[in-house]
Amino acid sequence: MTKRKNFPRLRNGKLEGTGMPPHFIDEKKKEVVFHIPGGFPVTMAIPTWMKSFPDEYKGISCRCEETFYKLRAKVNEG
């Protein structure tokens, strides 16, 4: 039997699956920023994903891909 990994899957413009979407950690602000293009239904999974991070961190979603990568570059610089 082969081992399967649970990766998020895009179906009808929405992410599906139990995998975590692209994200980065801003340690200075204690935030985890997730790139979630789908919107509300998928953002309900953020509390589940946040169990993988320390309690003092909060989860934030970003719908715009360009903004997500600009924020990530800004965090990596400083």
Q: What is the pLDDT of residue 49?
A: 87
Task: Show pLDDT as tens, one digit a residue, over the chain (78 residues).
Answer: 455 555 556 666 565 655 788 899 999 999 999 998 876 677 788 888 898 899 999 999 999 999 999 999 999 887
Global pTM value? 0.72
Cα 35 to Cα 15, 19, 46, distances in angstroms: 11, 13, 11
The conformation of residue 12, written as its DSSP 8-state character, comes to T
Distance of CA 57 to the CA centre of its chain: 13
- Domain residue spans in the chain? 14-77
Q: H or E stretch including 10?
A: strand 9-11
